[in-house]
Chains A and B, each alone.
Chain A
Amino acid sequence: MPEETLPIDPAPGEPVSSPSGDLPRRIWGAFIRPTRSHFLVAAVLLVCGLLVTLQVRGTAGDDTYSSLRRADLLQMMDDLDAQSQRLSTEIAQLQAVKQQLATGADKQRTAELEAQSRLASLQVLAGTVAVHGPGVRITIVDPAGKVTPQIILNALEEMRDAGAEVIEFNDSIRVVANTWVTQGPQGLIVDDQSLSLPITMDVIGEPHALDEAARFRGGLISQVQDSRIGGSVTLTTSDKIDVASLYKPKAAQFARPA
């Protein structure tokens, strides 16, 4: 298109500014007939559009703060600083709490295990669980009914002295800390239950020591087999003595834990 590419010197007779009737035709001609310069202009416009888009997007993103004054921005920054400081203190506190809880949980678990083992031993001691273990079974035959509470109490003391852990009478009466023995009209009474004859004692402990505790001179066997009582005692050691009877603990009426 000559009128575009040459220019500085317009052809004679042609005015520098074209008549207005000519202009739409000229624009239309340029529109439908592309030339080399059109591609250049297109490239330049592409760059221009790219720049404008970039800038518009860039300013659209963060014009919240661009209109604020310096003092406001400083104030804002101070606020954010204080906030972040507060939050980091909070983080430190929470981490400390977390650590405390973690160690606390460990402590609690140890305490729980300890309590479990204490509970087990106390249950055995209080007679509230069935137990089994090695020990001896003593059967006292007393045809004359002359065995006194004193003999039974002595036998209990001797057994405990020899390390008896659990003692049971007649497969039904569990001996505990406050077990008592007395003489009733029909015979012996242990913990409000009459002790029928023959009397059997199941004792859990070290069998040999228990055996010795019953057999020593002046002990249970020699007392019962004395001519004044005229009974007989059989003692068998066993690896497995079962004690199934339980003691029902009563709530203390007068004693209070200090």
Chain B
Amino acid sequence: MFAILGLILGVGLGLFFAPTLPRELQPYLPIAIVAALDALFGGFRAWLDRTFTDRVFVVSFFSNVLIAALIVWVGDQIGVGSQLSTAVVVVLGIRIFTNAAAIRRALFRA
């Protein structure tokens, strides 16, 4: 319940205050979101597997986001930013699909 409330509150805050991110951070936001989605799916799968730990979840969420942003940043510095962000999106996408498959199996046994 609180999780749903938190999500709604986050969206509401984003809509209401409409804060603007500094220009330097804007390219990393999409990657950070994909990383966050990966962490969420992983957490849900762990919960279904009864291996969920809140500490692990929180740490993995933030480290995922930070590492994804960091990789893209490094890529930007060495001139392969767009390629590396594609790579990150692909890898995280694969992980999301894997997690989604596991969740589907746990929920529907199919």
| A-B contacts, 14 listed (Cβ < 8 Å) | A4-B54, A7-B46, A7-B52, A14-B50, A16-B49, A16-B51, A17-B50, A34-B1, A37-B57, A38-B3, A40-B54, A41-B6, A44-B57, A51-B14
What is the count of residue pairs linking A and B with beta-carbon distances less than 8 angstroms?
123
In the complex, are the beta carbons of A58 and B6 less than 8 A apart? no
B61 at the binding interface (Cβ < 8 Å): yes
Minimum distance in angstroms from B20 CB to a CB of chain A = 8
Measured in the bound complex, the distance between the Cα atoms of B55 and A7 in whole Å is 12
Report how far A47 CA is from B2 CA in the complex, Å.
14
Residue A65 lies at the interface, judged by CB distance under 8 Å to chain B = no
When the two chains form their complex, are residues B48 and A49 in contact, meaning their CB atoms are under 8 A apart? no
A 27-63 binary contact with B (CB < 8 Å = 1; else 0): 0000110101111111111111111111101100000
Q: How far is the CA of A45 from the CA of B10 in the complex (A)?
A: 7
Query: Given known contacts A7-B50, A41-B54, is B3 in contact with A49 (CB within 8 Å)?
Result: no
Least Cβ–Cβ distance between B76 and chain A, in angstroms: 18
Most chain-B Cβ atoms within 10 A of its Cβ — which of A3, A39, A52? A52
* Candidates A32, A39, A49; contact of B11 at CB < 8 Å: A49
B53 touching A7, Cβ below 8 Å: yes
Residues of chain A within 8 A (CB-CB) of B79 are: none
Q: Are the C-beta atoms of B54 and A50 separated by less than 8 Å?
A: no
Q: B19's contact among A3, A44, A54, by CB below 8 Å, is which?
A: A54
Q: How large is the interface on A (under 10, 10 to 19, 20 to 34, 35 or more residues)?
A: 35 or more
Report if A20 contacts B (CB, 8 A): yes
How near does chain A come to B65, taking the closest CB pair, in angstroms?
A: 8
Identify B30's interface contact among A40, A47, A55, CB under 8 A.
Answer: A55
Q: Say yes or no: A17-B49 contact (C-beta < 8 A), given A48-B10, A49-B7, A57-B18.
A: yes
CB distance from B23 to the nearest CB of A (A): 11
Interface residues as binary, B88-110 with A (CB distance below 8 Å gives 1, 0 otherwise): 00000000000000000111110
| Chain B interface helix/strand/loop/mixed | helix
CB pair B9–A55 under 8 Å, yes or no, is no
Residues of B within 8 A of A20 (CB): 107-109
Q: B56-79: which residues lie under 8 A (CB-CB) from chain A?
A: 57-58, 61
> Chain A residues near B3 (CB, 8 Å)?
38, 41-42, 45
Q: Which of B1, B10, B30, B50 contacts A38 (CB 8 A)?
A: B1
A8 within 8 A of B: yes
Closest to B32 in A: A51
**A23: interface (CB < 8 Å):** yes
- Point out the residues of chain A lying under 8 angstroms from B48, CB to CB: 17-18, 23
B16-53 interface bits toward A, Cβ cutoff 8 Å, 1 = contact, 0 = none: 00110100001001101100110110010011111111
Q: Which of A7, A44, A49 contacts B61 (CB 8 A)?
A: A44
Which residue of chain A is the closest to B108 with respect to CB atoms? Answer: A20
Q: Is the CB of B11 within 8 A of A53?
A: yes
Complex interface: chain A residues within 8 A of B47 (CB): 4
Query: Are A16 and B33 in contact, with the CB atoms below 8 A?
Result: no
Which residues of the other chain, B, contact A218 by a CB distance below 8 angstroms? none
Chain B residues with CB under 8 A of A50: 10-11, 13-14
Q: How far, in whole Å, are A40 and B2 apart by their CA atoms in the complex?
A: 9
CA–CA, A34 to B4, complex, Å? 12
Q: By the criterion CB–CB under 8 Å, are A44 and B51 in contact?
A: no
**What is the CA–CA distance of A43 and B54 in the complex, to the nearest angstrom?**
11
**Would you call A12 an interface residue if the criterion is a C-beta within 8 Å of the partner chain's C-beta atoms?**
no
Tell me whether A54 and B11 are in contact (CB under 8 A).
no
